[in-house]
């Protein structure tokens, strides 16, 4: 942005005209937007983590598929992340938003894990399964809604493997 503004400004007026205020304002605006997008994604996760703490973990008698709160979190992310990714112009910004969201979610998830007491062996195993499912979803977060898979072997990996 700064470079394109400098090309518009005549070199004879370079010492008299400065775009630093405008560049700073745009940077602050972008930062506020990123913060708002992350907060919006987090807002749907908080009730699900609260539901996790209210589950009867000591009463489980078997381990099943992922818990409903994990399913709700992942489905929310699968509907919200693709429009954000498709709207934003910078891939780096998308990854930055995903990293900020994952960081905040992991902190909240760990805090909620400590509140899941009492629990028996099956409850602990179910929480372990839920943790793995959430980890997998957070790792694939930037790719939700695309045909690219994080587990695909790239052509260069295949070539290196053959050598």
CA distance 160 to 123: 43
What is the domain extent for residue 101? Answer: 22-147
CA distance 60 to 51: 16
- CA 53-56-59 angle, to 5 degrees, is 150
Instruction: Decide if 163 is inside a domain.
Output: no
CATH of the domain at 39: 1.20.58.670
C-alpha torsion sign, points 147, 151, 157, 158: negative
Reported confidence tier of residue 132, pLDDT bands at 50, 70, 90: very high
Instruction: Decide if 12 is inside a domain.
Output: no
> Which of 5-19, 108-122, 137-151 has the least mean pLDDT?
5-19
Instruction: Decide if 102 is inside a domain.
Output: yes
C-alpha torsion sign, points 150, 154, 158, 163: negative
pLDDT for res 9: 65
Look at the chain and report how many structural domains it folds into: 1
Instruction: Decide if 90 is inside a domain.
Output: yes
Instruction: Decide if 161 is inside a domain.
Output: no
Instruction: Decide if 15 is inside a domain.
Output: no
Q: What is the mean pLDDT of residues 117-135?
A: 95
Cβ-based neighbour number of residue 135 at 10 Å? 13
Instruction: Decide if 64 is inside a domain.
Output: yes
């Amino acid at each position: 942005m700064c470079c394109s503004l400098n090309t518009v400004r005549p070199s004879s007026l370079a010492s008299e005209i400065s775009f630093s205020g405008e560049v700073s304002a745009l940077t602050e605006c972008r930062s506020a937007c990123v913060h708002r997008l992350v907060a919006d994604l987090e807002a749907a996760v908080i009730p699900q983590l609260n539901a996790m703490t209210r589950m009867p973990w000591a009463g489980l008698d078997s381990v099943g598929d992922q818990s409903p709160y994990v399913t709700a979190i992942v489905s929310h992310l699968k509907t919200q992340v693709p429009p954000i990714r498709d709207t934003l112009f910078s891939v780096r910004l998308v990854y930055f938003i995903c990293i900020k969201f994952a960081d905040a979610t992991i902190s909240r998830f760990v805090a909620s894990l400590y509140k899941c007491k009492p629990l028996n062996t099956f409850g602990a195993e179910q929480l372990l399964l839920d943790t793995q499912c959430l980890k997998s979803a957070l790792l694939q977060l930037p790719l939700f809604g695309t045909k690219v898979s994080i587990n695909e072997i790239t052509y260069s990996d295949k070539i290196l493997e053959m050598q």
